[in-house]
A = this chain, B = another copy of it.
Amino acid sequence: MRVGLDVGGTKTDAVAVDGSGEIVGRVRRPTGWGPDAVVQGIIETTFALADEAGFSISDIASVGVGIPGMVDSASGRVLHAVNLGVESLDIAERARPVIDAPFAVENDVKAAALGAASLRPGDASMAYLNLGTGVAAGVITDGRIWRGMHGSAGEVGHISVDPHGRVCGCGQRGCVETLCGGGALARAWGRPGELPVLDIFDAAEAGDPVAAGLRADLARGAAAAVRILVLSVDVETVVIGGGLTALGARLEADIVQTLRADAENSAFMRSLRLDERIELLPTGSPVAALGAALLVAAPVECTIPVKETAAHG
């Protein structure tokens, strides 16, 4: 049994994947703050998952962890996971005395990309674009995570697409993330609410011009990210996931419409058929946990199971 955990800022999503690549169990639990709580949470969630899916800890073939932070690909050490209060943490070293299995750790968006790719075994390459509090993408080619030289492959959230745009948390102006990041949109909206981006969409539909502008920004930023991924890496498909997919069909329609409008004056853009190359994941899809389960431990090398890639041919 392979276990995959997506350790998010507020909750941890865990799945158990059997030898044929099927998800046979899933649990979600709150995530703790700081390295001790994160490790304890990973252990407890794994035990809860074993309980839920009816397997024992000794049946675990591997544990994969997706985590929002930098992951040193050689050592598996997590660095600067600021949303979890983690500066530097070797999860494997800390958890292995309790769960005696190989651990693999990966950045959560890259893990999600692997999970999303495993659901599309026909694609030789794809990108997973995560629209959450922040914005980043993971690129998969030939069933493997494309990390780049320093792990910044797919960091399209911090490419500036408007020199006069809003200042980004990263210090630049007009980053893709300032347009389509949930955090940036909530700050620009500035009104209280549990789900500010949902409020923006509703207010836009009720005629609020500020909301309409921000809603257009979201589609514009996502469209820019898709364009960048196709015109740099040239992936076949861009699968869109993350918290903002809770907006569902409304978000997808906005992005498709924006891509089509942008292509109206450009035969070159039309030739790329970007509107046909995106796909929105259903909200709550456990792609990051699934991808984490598919990580191969030590060395951190990532492959889609043979069953899946066999379908390529």
Smallest distance from the beta carbon of A54 to chain B beta carbons, Å?
41
Q: Are A147 and B234 closer than 8 Å at their CB atoms?
A: yes
Closest to A160 in B: B161
Question: How far is A265 from B168 in the complex, measured between Cα atoms in Å?
Answer: 10
Check if A256 is an interface residue, CB within 8 A of chain B.
no
A125-B149, A272-B152 are known contacts. Are A265 and B233 too (CB-CB below 8 A)?
no
Report if A232 contacts B (CB, 8 A): yes
User: Which residues of chain B have C-beta atoms less than 8 A from A154's C-beta?
Assistant: 231-232, 234
User: Min CB distance, A120 to chain B, in Å?
Assistant: 13
Q: Chain A 258-281 against B: per-residue CB contact (8 Å), 1 yes, 0 no? A: 000010011111001000000000
- Chain B residues in 8 Å Cβ range of A100: none
The complex places the Cα of A231 from the Cα of B163 at a distance, in Å, of: 17
Interface residues of A in 94-126 (CB under 8 A from B): 124-125
Q: List A135-152 residues whose CB lies under 8 Å from chain B.
A: 139, 146-152
Is A180 engaged at the interface, CB distance under 8 Å to the other chain?
Answer: no
Q: Which of A55-63, A222-230, A284-292 contacts B (4 or more CB under 8 A)?
A: A222-230
Chain B residue with Cβ nearest A70: B271
Which of the residues B149, B160, B220, B268 comes within 8 Å of A158, measured between beta carbons? Answer: B268
Q: How far is the CA of A164 from the CA of B165 in the complex (A)?
A: 11
A304: Cβ under 8 A from any B Cβ: no
| Total chain A interface residues with beta-carbon distance under 8 A | 43
Point out the residues of chain B lying under 8 angstroms from A163, CB to CB.
Answer: 161-162, 220
Does A306 touch B at the CB level, under 8 Å? no
A235 interface contact, C-beta 8 A: yes
Q: Which residues of B contact A148 (CB under 8 A)?
A: 125, 230, 233-235
- With known contacts A124-B149, A149-B124, A171–B233 Cβ distance under 8 A: no
Q: In the bound complex, how far is the Cα of B163 from the Cα of A164, in angstroms? A: 9
Most buried by B among A154, A227, A230, A272: A230
- Known: A149-B124, A236-B149. Contact between A156 and B266, CB under 8 A? no
- Given A124-B149, A125-B148, A161-B160: A268 and B171 interface contact (C-beta under 8 Å): yes
Chain B: CB-nearest residue to A154: B232
9 nearest CB pairs, A to B? A148-B234, A171-B266, A232-B232, A153-B234, A171-B265, A170-B268, A149-B236, A155-B231, A152-B234
Q: Which residues of A contact B (CB under 8 A)?
A: 124-125, 139, 146-156, 158-164, 170-172, 220, 224, 227-236, 262, 265-269, 272
